[in-house]
Structure 1
Amino acid sequence: MPDWLNITLRAVGAVAYLFLLTKIIGKRQIKQLTYIEYIVGISIGSIAAFMATEMDGPIYHSLIAMGVFALFPVVMEWLSLKSKFLRDFFESKSTVLIKEGKILEDNLKKERLTAEDLMEQLRVKNVFRVADVEFALMETSGEISVLLKSESQPVTPKHLELKVAPSEENQVVIMDGVIMDEPLATAGLNRRWVRTELQKAGVALENVFLGQVDKGGELYLDLYDDKLMVPGAQAMKLAFATLKKCQADLELYALSTKNEQMKRTYQTDSEQLQQIIDQVKPFMMR
């Protein structure tokens, strides 16, 4: 067998075996590395490179060595689940870097971080003033988690006691000018609905790069030609405006009638409709 073909086959075999070992070790090693996983990753990579280029020794020696190294993180993770002491030993602990706006210099030195490193990590979290930080710590993965002081946190609808629509999973129903039947069925819609919406927008299917529909049934369209503007969906806004008009008409009837019984009826209906409007507004005015 020619050397180039032998090396090619060994390299393909090494990659396939590495992929299998990575699947066994799990996703965590890809997301974050512990000390053991870092060592194992380097060692397995070196063995795989040796396996692909060294043609004198038997290939199964390298496979056995990689398998043994791959067992280490699996065993260490199993032991860590059984013992808090071993978990802290293998993965270390989180380190507090900032507390109540004060940088803990000793902990910073312990993690071998400079002030510049800390400020860079804070800026990544969109934090530019140390005084705004209530609590910051370095996780075992090396990431820095930051909790801002209450007065420095962004205002949310909860702070303002506002009701907002819950987050919804949008379905991509058109991709590259092709209607996607499975997500369309998941949204409870069909191809006729898509074509009707495209007709309302005055857009041809083949001109749509991406079409996305939300739970409210509104279709967002992104066209190949970025210069073309697609009119926004108005169905929900028109329905909301109609409700507001009905509520205003009821108030007007209550003011214009001289019949006390009808006046009270109109006022009651107007108040009830206003309550309904307040409840559906977060869902209709997005």
Structure 2
Amino acid sequence: MSDVSSAVLQPAPVVMPRARPRWVRRLRRYGPAWVGGAVVVAWILVALLAPVIAPYAPETQDITNRLAAPSASHWLGTDVLGRDVFSRLLHGARLSLTAGFTVVLLGAAVGVTVGLVAAWARGFVDEALMRFTDLVLCFPPIILALAIAAALGIGTTNTIIAMLVVWWPKFARLARALTLVQRSQEYVEAATVVGLKPSRILGRHILPNTLGPLAVLITLDLGNAILTFAGLSFLGLGVVPPTPEWGSMVAEGRELVEQWWVAAFPGLAILTVVVGFNFCGDGLRDWLDPKGRNR
């Protein structure tokens, strides 16, 4: 009887849940980043190979075949002038991606330089640069870019210049904050005591230690720049017709409800690129986070 009671009172063994393999955890964590990277790489290859892949010239018109639905001869249909939407979509990727990379990289270069100089100089220089940065940040970027583009006139170059004027402040703010953190480190004090020039300290020591957050911002901002460029082109302040560009293609089909393909496919192209860059930026941010890298 005692043996039976002791067996009944004995607690049941606790079954611990099996830990997921590390590759499964990494796939769940970085899976969207890999998908976004694949989408971005695919669009870059499409932009580079557009003249080879496109079945028609992007500006070739065929009025007798205008607004034709997607078919074997025109995979994505034709627009109001009979131009092949698929060919214009491929060539439009070259301009949209080029404009996005140009604006973000040049804006980052200007903003990071301003932020480094302001954080190192401090005093009056810091106040002057940061107050000017705050002045630009006071205006909504799309509104200020729209006003500058309207003043400069229609054209790809003028649109890129207008976007550059409003694009650098966010990089300046981030670079200044990161530089202030690094400036208080011991290695910077040691480099100063040794007698290294400020330009060498900033370029060889501080800047490399701030590239992680800056790279994340650049990656996330590429999709935003492409979207803004498409928005300005949609409003008629981007490319000069008949140059193919995604925003202007959407504008051409905004009133064509039955001929949905004219605006739908360029809109989907913008959506996939923006989402792809956002996934890449989120994945890069998680990978650079030392606390969450080994989860």
Name the TM-score, length of structure 1 as normaliser.
0.23
Structure showing greater Rg: 1
| Structure 1 or 2: more strand by fraction | 1
Whose relative contact order is higher, 1 or 2, with alpha carbons under 8 Å and at least 6 apart? 2
Bigger helix fraction: 2
